[in-house]
Amino acid sequence: MLHSMFSNHLPTFRHGIHPPQFKDDTKDKPIRHFPFAPVMVIPLAQHIGKPSVPVVREGQEVVRGQLLARADGFVSVPQHSPASGIIKKIGRVPGITGKMVPGIYLEPFPGSSQEVMEGRPVDVETATADDIIRAIQDAGIVGLGGAAFPTHVKLKIPEGKHADTLILNGAECEPYLTTDHRVMLEQAPDIMTGLRYLLKATGAPRAIIGVESNKPDAADNLRAHIPPDLPVTVELVEVKYPQGAEKMLITALLGREVPSGGLPIDVNAVVVNVATCAEVGRLLPRGRGIQERVITITGPGVEKKGNYWIPIGTPLRYVLEQAHAAPDINRVFLGGPMMGTAVSSLDIPITKGTSGVVAFRDAEAFARQNKIYPCIHCGACVEACPLFLNPSKLGILAKFKEYHAMASEYHLMDCFECGSCTYVCPSHIPLVQYFRMSKLVLRNEKAKKIHV
Protein backbone atom coordinates (compact mmCIF):
# COMPACT_ATOMS: atom_id res chain seq x y z
CA MET A 1 0.00 0.00 0.00
CA LEU A 2 2.79 2.35 0.99
CA HIS A 3 4.57 1.60 -2.24
CA SER A 4 1.68 2.74 -4.42
CA MET A 5 1.71 6.18 -2.79
CA PHE A 6 5.13 6.87 -4.21
CA SER A 7 4.69 5.46 -7.68
CA ASN A 8 1.99 5.34 -10.28
CA HIS A 9 2.53 1.64 -10.89
CA LEU A 10 -0.52 -0.50 -11.43
CA PRO A 11 -1.52 -2.91 -8.68
CA THR A 12 0.41 -6.13 -8.99
CA PHE A 13 2.20 -8.92 -7.13
CA ARG A 14 5.97 -9.31 -6.76
CA HIS A 15 8.14 -11.47 -9.04
CA GLY A 16 6.53 -13.14 -12.07
CA ILE A 17 7.51 -13.01 -15.74
CA HIS A 18 6.67 -11.19 -18.97
CA PRO A 19 6.23 -13.73 -21.74
CA PRO A 20 5.27 -12.47 -25.21
CA GLN A 21 1.51 -12.00 -25.54
CA PHE A 22 0.58 -13.40 -28.98
CA LYS A 23 -2.94 -12.02 -28.51
CA ASP A 24 -3.12 -9.66 -31.49
CA ASP A 25 -4.33 -12.34 -33.90
CA THR A 26 -7.59 -12.90 -32.04
CA LYS A 27 -8.27 -10.05 -29.62
CA ASP A 28 -10.32 -8.10 -32.17
CA LYS A 29 -12.23 -11.12 -33.46
CA PRO A 30 -15.84 -11.12 -32.21
CA ILE A 31 -17.15 -14.36 -30.76
CA ARG A 32 -18.71 -16.48 -33.55
CA HIS A 33 -20.92 -19.51 -33.32
CA PHE A 34 -19.58 -22.90 -34.25
CA PRO A 35 -21.38 -25.72 -36.09
CA PHE A 36 -22.30 -29.00 -34.38
CA ALA A 37 -19.95 -31.90 -34.91
CA PRO A 38 -21.46 -35.12 -36.33
CA VAL A 39 -20.64 -36.90 -33.05
CA MET A 40 -20.17 -35.25 -29.67
CA VAL A 41 -18.09 -36.75 -26.86
CA ILE A 42 -19.15 -35.89 -23.32
CA PRO A 43 -16.92 -37.10 -20.47
CA LEU A 44 -18.76 -37.47 -17.16
CA ALA A 45 -15.96 -35.79 -15.23
CA GLN A 46 -15.20 -32.42 -16.82
CA HIS A 47 -14.64 -30.89 -13.41
CA ILE A 48 -12.58 -31.43 -10.27
CA GLY A 49 -14.59 -33.72 -7.97
CA LYS A 50 -16.78 -36.80 -8.36
CA PRO A 51 -17.91 -37.68 -11.91
CA SER A 52 -21.55 -37.10 -12.79
CA VAL A 53 -23.96 -40.04 -13.06
CA PRO A 54 -25.84 -40.62 -16.35
CA VAL A 55 -29.64 -40.28 -16.24
CA VAL A 56 -30.22 -41.10 -19.91
CA ARG A 57 -29.96 -44.45 -21.70
CA GLU A 58 -28.48 -45.47 -25.04
CA GLY A 59 -30.80 -44.77 -27.94
CA GLN A 60 -32.70 -42.07 -26.08
CA GLU A 61 -33.51 -38.82 -27.87
CA VAL A 62 -32.51 -35.71 -25.98
CA VAL A 63 -32.97 -31.98 -26.56
CA ARG A 64 -30.29 -29.36 -26.26
CA GLY A 65 -29.81 -28.30 -22.65
CA GLN A 66 -31.45 -31.47 -21.25
CA LEU A 67 -29.85 -33.11 -18.22
CA LEU A 68 -27.64 -36.02 -19.34
CA ALA A 69 -25.94 -36.85 -16.04
CA ARG A 70 -26.64 -35.68 -12.50
CA ALA A 71 -24.16 -34.40 -9.95
CA ASP A 72 -22.89 -37.00 -7.48
CA GLY A 73 -22.74 -35.14 -4.18
CA PHE A 74 -21.74 -31.57 -3.39
CA VAL A 75 -18.31 -31.47 -5.06
CA SER A 76 -19.68 -32.50 -8.43
CA VAL A 77 -21.71 -30.93 -11.23
CA PRO A 78 -24.23 -32.29 -13.75
CA GLN A 79 -23.74 -32.47 -17.54
CA HIS A 80 -26.31 -31.12 -19.97
CA SER A 81 -26.79 -32.04 -23.58
CA PRO A 82 -24.85 -29.72 -25.91
CA ALA A 83 -27.21 -30.50 -28.80
CA SER A 84 -30.54 -32.09 -29.65
CA GLY A 85 -29.84 -35.59 -30.83
CA ILE A 86 -29.66 -39.23 -29.91
CA ILE A 87 -27.52 -40.94 -27.26
CA LYS A 88 -25.40 -43.38 -29.28
CA LYS A 89 -23.42 -44.96 -26.51
CA ILE A 90 -22.65 -44.69 -22.82
CA GLY A 91 -19.23 -46.09 -22.10
CA ARG A 92 -15.65 -44.96 -22.32
CA VAL A 93 -14.53 -41.89 -24.22
CA PRO A 94 -11.07 -40.40 -24.80
CA GLY A 95 -10.08 -38.09 -21.95
CA ILE A 96 -7.70 -35.17 -21.97
CA THR A 97 -4.83 -37.22 -20.50
CA GLY A 98 -5.08 -39.72 -23.34
CA LYS A 99 -6.69 -42.35 -21.13
CA MET A 100 -10.24 -43.57 -21.76
CA VAL A 101 -12.72 -42.18 -19.22
CA PRO A 102 -16.47 -42.73 -18.61
CA GLY A 103 -18.61 -40.64 -20.93
CA ILE A 104 -21.43 -40.36 -23.40
CA TYR A 105 -21.46 -40.29 -27.23
CA LEU A 106 -24.18 -38.06 -28.67
CA GLU A 107 -25.21 -37.77 -32.32
CA PRO A 108 -26.90 -34.41 -32.99
CA PHE A 109 -29.91 -34.34 -35.33
CA PRO A 110 -28.69 -32.65 -38.51
CA GLY A 111 -31.92 -30.80 -39.27
CA SER A 112 -32.89 -29.77 -35.75
CA SER A 113 -33.46 -26.12 -34.89
CA GLN A 114 -31.34 -26.73 -31.78
CA GLU A 115 -33.64 -24.75 -29.51
CA VAL A 116 -32.35 -24.75 -25.96
CA MET A 117 -34.51 -26.29 -23.29
CA GLU A 118 -35.18 -23.96 -20.39
CA GLY A 119 -35.90 -24.84 -16.78
CA ARG A 120 -37.10 -23.00 -13.73
CA PRO A 121 -35.65 -19.47 -13.61
CA VAL A 122 -33.97 -18.29 -10.42
CA ASP A 123 -35.04 -14.80 -9.42
CA VAL A 124 -32.09 -13.02 -7.83
CA GLU A 125 -34.42 -10.87 -5.71
CA THR A 126 -36.35 -13.67 -4.04
CA ALA A 127 -33.78 -16.48 -4.03
CA THR A 128 -31.70 -17.19 -0.91
CA ALA A 129 -27.92 -17.64 -1.04
CA ASP A 130 -28.41 -21.41 -0.83
CA ASP A 131 -30.97 -21.31 -3.65
CA ILE A 132 -28.45 -19.57 -5.87
CA ILE A 133 -25.62 -21.92 -4.92
CA ARG A 134 -27.86 -24.91 -5.72
CA ALA A 135 -28.93 -23.33 -9.01
CA ILE A 136 -25.32 -22.73 -10.02
CA GLN A 137 -24.56 -26.38 -9.30
CA ASP A 138 -27.67 -27.46 -11.23
CA ALA A 139 -26.50 -25.39 -14.21
CA GLY A 140 -23.30 -27.46 -14.25
CA ILE A 141 -21.08 -24.40 -13.93
CA VAL A 142 -17.36 -24.81 -13.26
CA GLY A 143 -14.47 -22.33 -13.35
CA LEU A 144 -14.11 -21.52 -17.03
CA GLY A 145 -10.62 -20.07 -16.58
CA GLY A 146 -9.20 -23.54 -16.90
CA ALA A 147 -9.21 -25.07 -13.44
CA ALA A 148 -12.76 -26.45 -13.86
CA PHE A 149 -13.40 -26.38 -10.14
CA PRO A 150 -17.15 -26.43 -9.40
CA THR A 151 -18.11 -22.78 -8.91
CA HIS A 152 -20.83 -23.36 -6.33
CA VAL A 153 -18.33 -25.00 -3.97
CA LYS A 154 -16.27 -21.79 -3.91
CA LEU A 155 -19.33 -19.69 -3.30
CA LYS A 156 -20.43 -21.68 -0.26
CA ILE A 157 -18.78 -19.71 2.55
CA PRO A 158 -17.65 -22.09 5.32
CA GLU A 159 -19.03 -21.73 8.84
CA GLY A 160 -17.27 -18.99 10.78
CA LYS A 161 -15.83 -17.21 7.72
CA HIS A 162 -17.12 -14.35 5.67
CA ALA A 163 -16.34 -12.73 2.34
CA ASP A 164 -15.77 -8.98 2.26
CA THR A 165 -14.79 -8.84 -1.43
CA LEU A 166 -15.80 -10.76 -4.49
CA ILE A 167 -13.05 -10.57 -7.12
CA LEU A 168 -13.89 -11.16 -10.75
CA ASN A 169 -10.83 -12.40 -12.55
CA GLY A 170 -10.44 -10.75 -15.95
CA ALA A 171 -6.66 -10.79 -15.92
CA GLU A 172 -6.28 -13.40 -18.67
CA CYS A 173 -2.51 -13.48 -18.26
CA GLU A 174 -1.91 -16.60 -20.38
CA PRO A 175 -0.39 -15.76 -23.77
CA TYR A 176 -2.56 -16.42 -26.85
CA LEU A 177 -5.92 -16.51 -25.01
CA THR A 178 -8.49 -13.79 -25.67
CA THR A 179 -11.74 -15.40 -24.56
CA ASP A 180 -12.13 -13.41 -21.35
CA HIS A 181 -11.21 -10.26 -23.26
CA ARG A 182 -14.00 -10.84 -25.77
CA VAL A 183 -16.47 -11.87 -23.07
CA MET A 184 -15.80 -8.60 -21.21
CA LEU A 185 -16.36 -6.66 -24.45
CA GLU A 186 -19.42 -8.51 -25.65
CA GLN A 187 -21.13 -9.87 -22.55
CA ALA A 188 -20.88 -7.08 -20.00
CA PRO A 189 -24.65 -7.14 -19.22
CA ASP A 190 -24.43 -10.89 -18.50
CA ILE A 191 -21.43 -10.26 -16.24
CA MET A 192 -23.37 -7.63 -14.28
CA THR A 193 -26.38 -9.93 -13.93
CA GLY A 194 -24.07 -12.74 -12.86
CA LEU A 195 -22.48 -10.45 -10.28
CA ARG A 196 -25.84 -9.91 -8.59
CA TYR A 197 -26.19 -13.67 -8.10
CA LEU A 198 -22.60 -14.07 -6.93
CA LEU A 199 -22.74 -11.18 -4.47
CA LYS A 200 -25.93 -12.57 -2.99
CA ALA A 201 -24.56 -16.12 -2.84
CA THR A 202 -21.38 -15.08 -1.02
CA GLY A 203 -22.82 -12.21 1.01
CA ALA A 204 -19.89 -10.05 -0.09
CA PRO A 205 -20.71 -6.34 0.12
CA ARG A 206 -18.63 -5.37 -2.91
CA ALA A 207 -16.97 -6.70 -6.02
CA ILE A 208 -13.77 -5.74 -7.86
CA ILE A 209 -13.18 -6.75 -11.45
CA GLY A 210 -9.43 -7.07 -12.06
CA VAL A 211 -8.37 -6.60 -15.68
CA GLU A 212 -4.80 -6.61 -17.03
CA SER A 213 -3.93 -3.20 -18.44
CA ASN A 214 -3.47 -4.60 -21.95
CA LYS A 215 -7.30 -4.71 -22.16
CA PRO A 216 -8.31 -1.09 -21.45
CA ASP A 217 -11.24 -1.40 -23.87
CA ALA A 218 -12.62 -4.28 -21.80
CA ALA A 219 -12.27 -2.30 -18.58
CA ASP A 220 -13.97 0.77 -20.11
CA ASN A 221 -16.81 -1.35 -21.44
CA LEU A 222 -17.37 -2.98 -18.05
CA ARG A 223 -17.36 0.39 -16.30
CA ALA A 224 -19.93 1.69 -18.77
CA HIS A 225 -22.23 -1.23 -17.94
CA ILE A 226 -22.13 -1.10 -14.14
CA PRO A 227 -25.70 -0.48 -12.95
CA PRO A 228 -25.89 2.39 -10.42
CA ASP A 229 -27.04 0.14 -7.59
CA LEU A 230 -24.26 -2.47 -8.01
CA PRO A 231 -21.21 -2.04 -5.67
CA VAL A 232 -18.64 -2.89 -8.34
CA THR A 233 -15.36 -1.29 -9.36
CA VAL A 234 -13.07 -2.18 -12.25
CA GLU A 235 -9.34 -2.05 -11.59
CA LEU A 236 -6.49 -2.35 -14.06
CA VAL A 237 -3.60 -4.55 -12.93
CA GLU A 238 -0.09 -4.88 -14.38
CA VAL A 239 0.40 -7.12 -17.40
CA LYS A 240 2.46 -9.84 -15.83
CA TYR A 241 2.24 -13.61 -15.66
CA PRO A 242 0.68 -15.21 -13.50
CA GLN A 243 -1.47 -12.18 -12.62
CA GLY A 244 -4.57 -14.30 -13.17
CA ALA A 245 -3.63 -16.82 -10.49
CA GLU A 246 -6.12 -16.44 -7.63
CA LYS A 247 -3.49 -15.75 -5.01
CA MET A 248 -1.65 -13.22 -7.14
CA LEU A 249 -4.78 -11.30 -8.06
CA ILE A 250 -5.87 -11.15 -4.41
CA THR A 251 -2.45 -9.78 -3.48
CA ALA A 252 -2.54 -7.26 -6.33
CA LEU A 253 -6.02 -5.95 -5.58
CA LEU A 254 -6.31 -6.31 -1.82
CA GLY A 255 -2.69 -6.43 -0.62
CA ARG A 256 -3.48 -9.65 1.25
CA GLU A 257 -1.63 -12.95 1.15
CA VAL A 258 -3.56 -16.19 1.12
CA PRO A 259 -1.91 -18.29 3.84
CA SER A 260 0.17 -21.27 2.77
CA GLY A 261 -2.17 -24.23 2.30
CA GLY A 262 -5.21 -21.96 2.70
CA LEU A 263 -7.98 -20.69 0.45
CA PRO A 264 -8.97 -17.17 -0.67
CA ILE A 265 -11.79 -17.20 1.88
CA ASP A 266 -9.13 -17.29 4.62
CA VAL A 267 -8.45 -13.67 3.68
CA ASN A 268 -12.17 -12.93 3.15
CA ALA A 269 -12.05 -13.07 -0.63
CA VAL A 270 -13.77 -15.16 -3.27
CA VAL A 271 -12.37 -15.15 -6.81
CA VAL A 272 -14.47 -16.08 -9.84
CA ASN A 273 -13.46 -15.88 -13.49
CA VAL A 274 -15.33 -13.25 -15.57
CA ALA A 275 -16.56 -15.75 -18.14
CA THR A 276 -17.88 -17.97 -15.36
CA CYS A 277 -19.76 -14.97 -13.97
CA ALA A 278 -21.18 -14.18 -17.40
CA GLU A 279 -22.36 -17.79 -17.66
CA VAL A 280 -24.13 -17.48 -14.29
CA GLY A 281 -25.81 -14.28 -15.50
CA ARG A 282 -26.93 -15.93 -18.72
CA LEU A 283 -28.07 -19.33 -17.43
CA LEU A 284 -29.74 -18.70 -14.08
CA PRO A 285 -32.44 -16.25 -15.22
CA ARG A 286 -33.54 -18.88 -17.75
CA GLY A 287 -33.00 -22.00 -15.69
CA ARG A 288 -30.60 -23.40 -18.28
CA GLY A 289 -27.60 -25.68 -18.02
CA ILE A 290 -24.21 -24.97 -19.61
CA GLN A 291 -23.92 -26.45 -23.12
CA GLU A 292 -21.26 -24.35 -24.82
CA ARG A 293 -18.39 -22.04 -23.94
CA VAL A 294 -16.17 -19.40 -25.54
CA ILE A 295 -12.82 -20.69 -26.76
CA THR A 296 -9.88 -19.02 -28.54
CA ILE A 297 -8.64 -21.08 -31.47
CA THR A 298 -5.25 -19.81 -32.50
CA GLY A 299 -1.60 -20.57 -33.09
CA PRO A 300 0.58 -20.53 -36.20
CA GLY A 301 -1.01 -23.77 -37.42
CA VAL A 302 -4.52 -22.30 -37.60
CA GLU A 303 -5.85 -20.26 -40.52
CA LYS A 304 -9.23 -19.08 -39.18
CA LYS A 305 -7.99 -17.85 -35.84
CA GLY A 306 -10.68 -16.44 -33.63
CA ASN A 307 -12.97 -16.69 -30.63
CA TYR A 308 -15.85 -19.10 -30.90
CA TRP A 309 -18.85 -20.39 -29.00
CA ILE A 310 -18.09 -24.09 -29.14
CA PRO A 311 -20.54 -26.75 -27.96
CA ILE A 312 -19.07 -28.79 -25.11
CA GLY A 313 -18.18 -32.25 -26.39
CA THR A 314 -16.99 -31.12 -29.84
CA PRO A 315 -13.99 -33.30 -30.75
CA LEU A 316 -10.72 -31.44 -31.28
CA ARG A 317 -10.35 -32.87 -34.77
CA TYR A 318 -13.63 -31.24 -35.80
CA VAL A 319 -12.64 -27.95 -34.14
CA LEU A 320 -9.35 -27.86 -36.02
CA GLU A 321 -10.96 -28.84 -39.33
CA GLN A 322 -13.50 -26.05 -39.03
CA ALA A 323 -10.74 -23.58 -38.14
CA HIS A 324 -8.77 -24.69 -41.21
CA ALA A 325 -5.76 -25.93 -39.29
CA ALA A 326 -2.77 -26.95 -41.41
CA PRO A 327 -2.51 -30.70 -42.06
CA ASP A 328 1.02 -30.79 -40.69
CA ILE A 329 0.24 -29.45 -37.20
CA ASN A 330 2.28 -31.48 -34.75
CA ARG A 331 1.66 -29.84 -31.40
CA VAL A 332 -1.77 -28.97 -30.06
CA PHE A 333 -2.52 -27.81 -26.58
CA LEU A 334 -5.60 -26.97 -24.62
CA GLY A 335 -5.48 -23.77 -22.62
CA GLY A 336 -2.59 -21.32 -22.78
CA PRO A 337 1.04 -22.21 -23.44
CA MET A 338 2.13 -21.64 -19.85
CA MET A 339 -0.20 -24.03 -18.03
CA GLY A 340 -2.12 -25.75 -20.83
CA THR A 341 -1.99 -29.45 -21.66
CA ALA A 342 -0.46 -30.82 -24.85
CA VAL A 343 -2.79 -33.46 -26.25
CA SER A 344 -1.74 -36.78 -27.72
CA SER A 345 -4.89 -37.33 -29.74
CA LEU A 346 -7.37 -35.18 -31.65
CA ASP A 347 -10.24 -37.45 -30.63
CA ILE A 348 -10.57 -35.84 -27.23
CA PRO A 349 -13.37 -33.31 -26.84
CA ILE A 350 -13.67 -29.70 -25.80
CA THR A 351 -14.74 -29.72 -22.16
CA LYS A 352 -15.94 -27.06 -19.75
CA GLY A 353 -12.38 -26.27 -18.66
CA THR A 354 -11.02 -25.69 -22.18
CA SER A 355 -10.25 -22.00 -22.65
CA GLY A 356 -8.20 -22.26 -25.81
CA VAL A 357 -6.93 -24.53 -28.55
CA VAL A 358 -3.46 -23.57 -29.79
CA ALA A 359 -1.85 -25.45 -32.68
CA PHE A 360 1.71 -25.40 -33.96
CA ARG A 361 3.28 -26.80 -37.10
CA ASP A 362 6.62 -28.46 -37.61
CA ALA A 363 8.29 -25.26 -38.64
CA GLU A 364 7.38 -23.52 -35.42
CA ALA A 365 8.16 -26.33 -32.99
CA PHE A 366 7.78 -24.06 -30.06
CA ALA A 367 9.40 -25.32 -26.92
CA ARG A 368 12.58 -26.04 -28.82
CA GLN A 369 14.52 -29.14 -27.95
CA ASN A 370 17.05 -27.28 -25.89
CA LYS A 371 20.12 -28.73 -24.32
CA ILE A 372 19.78 -29.08 -20.57
CA TYR A 373 22.72 -27.63 -18.64
CA PRO A 374 23.39 -28.01 -14.93
CA CYS A 375 21.91 -25.35 -12.65
CA ILE A 376 24.35 -22.43 -12.53
CA HIS A 377 22.63 -20.69 -9.59
CA CYS A 378 21.83 -17.65 -11.69
CA GLY A 379 18.77 -17.00 -9.55
CA ALA A 380 16.43 -16.24 -12.46
CA CYS A 381 13.90 -18.77 -11.13
CA VAL A 382 14.07 -17.31 -7.64
CA GLU A 383 13.26 -13.91 -9.16
CA ALA A 384 10.42 -15.37 -11.21
CA CYS A 385 8.59 -17.45 -8.60
CA PRO A 386 5.49 -15.53 -7.51
CA LEU A 387 5.42 -17.49 -4.26
CA PHE A 388 9.04 -16.74 -3.35
CA LEU A 389 10.00 -20.39 -3.45
CA ASN A 390 13.55 -21.44 -4.40
CA PRO A 391 13.02 -23.51 -7.57
CA SER A 392 16.77 -23.96 -8.00
CA LYS A 393 17.11 -25.65 -4.62
CA LEU A 394 13.89 -27.62 -5.14
CA GLY A 395 15.19 -28.81 -8.50
CA ILE A 396 18.45 -30.03 -7.00
CA LEU A 397 16.58 -31.78 -4.17
CA ALA A 398 14.25 -33.42 -6.70
CA LYS A 399 17.24 -34.71 -8.59
CA PHE A 400 18.47 -36.40 -5.43
CA LYS A 401 14.94 -37.66 -4.59
CA GLU A 402 14.81 -35.63 -1.37
CA TYR A 403 11.05 -35.28 -1.68
CA HIS A 404 10.36 -34.90 2.03
CA ALA A 405 12.85 -32.07 2.45
CA MET A 406 11.28 -30.38 -0.58
CA ALA A 407 7.91 -30.36 1.12
CA SER A 408 8.89 -29.75 4.74
CA GLU A 409 11.68 -27.22 4.27
CA TYR A 410 11.10 -25.64 0.87
CA HIS A 411 7.30 -25.46 0.62
CA LEU A 412 6.94 -27.69 -2.45
CA MET A 413 3.21 -28.13 -1.85
CA ASP A 414 2.58 -24.38 -2.23
CA CYS A 415 3.78 -24.47 -5.86
CA PHE A 416 0.81 -24.13 -8.18
CA GLU A 417 2.86 -25.04 -11.24
CA CYS A 418 2.60 -21.72 -13.08
CA GLY A 419 5.78 -22.59 -14.99
CA SER A 420 7.53 -19.23 -14.52
CA CYS A 421 10.72 -20.90 -13.25
CA THR A 422 10.93 -23.25 -16.21
CA TYR A 423 10.21 -20.35 -18.57
CA VAL A 424 13.20 -18.31 -17.39
CA CYS A 425 15.72 -21.09 -16.67
CA PRO A 426 18.77 -20.55 -18.91
CA SER A 427 19.83 -24.13 -18.31
CA HIS A 428 16.45 -25.35 -19.64
CA ILE A 429 15.86 -27.51 -16.58
CA PRO A 430 12.24 -28.79 -16.61
CA LEU A 431 11.68 -27.61 -13.04
CA VAL A 432 7.87 -27.69 -13.01
CA GLN A 433 7.96 -31.21 -14.37
CA TYR A 434 10.24 -32.20 -11.48
CA PHE A 435 7.87 -30.56 -9.00
CA ARG A 436 4.77 -32.25 -10.41
CA MET A 437 6.50 -35.60 -10.19
CA SER A 438 7.74 -34.94 -6.66
CA LYS A 439 4.27 -33.96 -5.50
CA LEU A 440 2.86 -37.10 -7.07
CA VAL A 441 5.40 -39.26 -5.25
CA LEU A 442 4.52 -37.60 -1.94
CA ARG A 443 0.77 -37.93 -2.54
CA ASN A 444 1.10 -41.58 -3.47
CA GLU A 445 3.15 -42.19 -0.34
CA LYS A 446 0.51 -40.51 1.78
CA ALA A 447 -2.26 -42.53 0.14
CA LYS A 448 -0.37 -45.75 0.81
CA LYS A 449 0.10 -44.86 4.46
CA ILE A 450 -3.64 -44.31 4.88
CA HIS A 451 -4.34 -47.72 3.37
CA VAL A 452 -1.96 -49.43 5.79
Partner 1 sequence: MFRKTLEIGTSPHIISGNSTDTIMRNVVYALLPVAAYAVYVFGLAALLLLITALGACLLTEYMLNRWAGNPSPLNDWSVTITGLLYGLTLPPHLPLWMVFLGGVFGVAFGKFIFGGLGYNVFNPALVGRAFIQAAFPVAITTWMTPFTADRFAHIPSSTLTLPFLEPVYDITSGATPLALMKFEHHTTDVYQLVMGMTSGSTGETSALLIVLGGLYLIARRMMDWRIPVALLGAVYILSTFFHFIDPTRYPDGLFMLFSGGLMLGAIFMATDMVASPITHAGAALYGVLIGIMVYVIRVWGGLPEGVMYAILFGNAVSPHIDNFIRPRVYGTGKKRSLS
Question: Minimum distance between the CB of residue 415 and partner 1, rounded to whole angstroms?
Answer: 10
Residue 427 binds partner 1, judged by CB under 8 A:
yes
* Complex with partner 1: residue 118 or 443, whichever CB lies closer: 443
Residue 337 binds partner 1, judged by CB under 8 A:
yes
Q: What residues contact 211, with CB distance under 8 A and at least 6 apart?
A: 170, 171, 184, 218, 219, 222, 234, 235, 236, 237
Binding-site member from 166, 302, 320, 350 for partner 1 (CB under 8 A): 320
The CA radius of gyration of the chain, in Å to the nearest whole number, is: 22
Binding-site member from 100, 363, 376, 440 for partner 1 (CB under 8 A): 376
Residue 439 binds partner 1, judged by CB under 8 A:
no
How far is CA 444 from its chain centroid? 26
Name the strand (E) or helix (H) holding 170: strand 165-170
- The answer to whether 358 and 176 have CB atoms below 8 angstroms apart is yes
User: What string marks each residue from 170 to 199 as x (binds partner 1 by CB under 8 A) or -?
Assistant: -----x------------------------
Question: Minimum distance between the CB of residue 73 and partner 1, rounded to whole angstroms?
Answer: 29
Binding-site member from 155, 192, 389, 397 for partner 1 (CB under 8 A): 389
Residue 401 binds partner 1, judged by CB under 8 A:
no
Question: Minimum distance between the CB of residue 269 and partner 1, rounded to whole angstroms?
Answer: 13
Task: Give the footprint of partner 1 on residues 240-259 (CB under 8 A).
Answer: 247, 251-252, 255, 257-259
* Complex with partner 1: residue 50 or 411, whichever CB lies closer: 411
Q: What is the DSSP letter of 299?
A: S
3-state helix, strand, coil in the chain (%, to 5): 30, 20, 50
Torsion of the alpha carbons at 85, 99, 358 and 381, rounded to the nearest 10: 150
Torsion of the alpha carbons at 342, 139, 50 and 344, rounded to the nearest 10: -10
Binding-site member from 59, 110, 228, 374 for partner 1 (CB under 8 A): 374
Residue 309 binds partner 1, judged by CB under 8 A:
no
Alpha helices in 284-370 (DSSP H): 316-322
Q: What residues contact 285, with CB distance under 8 A and at least 6 apart?
A: 121, 122, 123, 124, 193
Residue 264 binds partner 1, judged by CB under 8 A:
no
Question: Minimum distance between the CB of residue 216 and partner 1, rounded to whole angstroms?
Answer: 20
Name the strand (E) or helix (H) holding 445: helix 431-451
Question: Minimum distance between the CB of residue 228 and partner 1, rounded to whole angstroms?
Answer: 29
Residue 33 binds partner 1, judged by CB under 8 A:
no
Binding-site member from 88, 430, 441, 442 for partner 1 (CB under 8 A): 430
Scanning 9-17, 87-95, 107-115, 219-227 for contacts with partner 1 by CB under 8 A, the matching segment is 9-17
By DSSP bridging, strand 207-212 and strand 232-237 are: parallel
Residue 318 binds partner 1, judged by CB under 8 A:
no
Question: Minimum distance between the CB of residue 413 and partner 1, rounded to whole angstroms?
Answer: 11
SS3 annotation, 26-90 = CCCCCCEECCCCCCEEEECCCCCCCCCEECCCCCCEECCCCEEEECCCCCCCCEECCCCEEEEEE
Angle at 282 between CA 281 and CA 286, to 5 degrees: 110
Residue 425 binds partner 1, judged by CB under 8 A:
yes
Binding-site member from 159, 303, 327, 450 for partner 1 (CB under 8 A): 327
Give the integer Cα–Cα distance in Å for 255 and 145: 22
Residue 424 binds partner 1, judged by CB under 8 A:
yes
Question: Minimum distance between the CB of residue 426 and partner 1, rounded to whole angstroms?
Answer: 4
Scanning 60-68, 117-125, 268-276, 328-336 for contacts with partner 1 by CB under 8 A, the matching segment is 328-336
Backbone angles phi, psi at 101, to 5 degrees: -130, 160
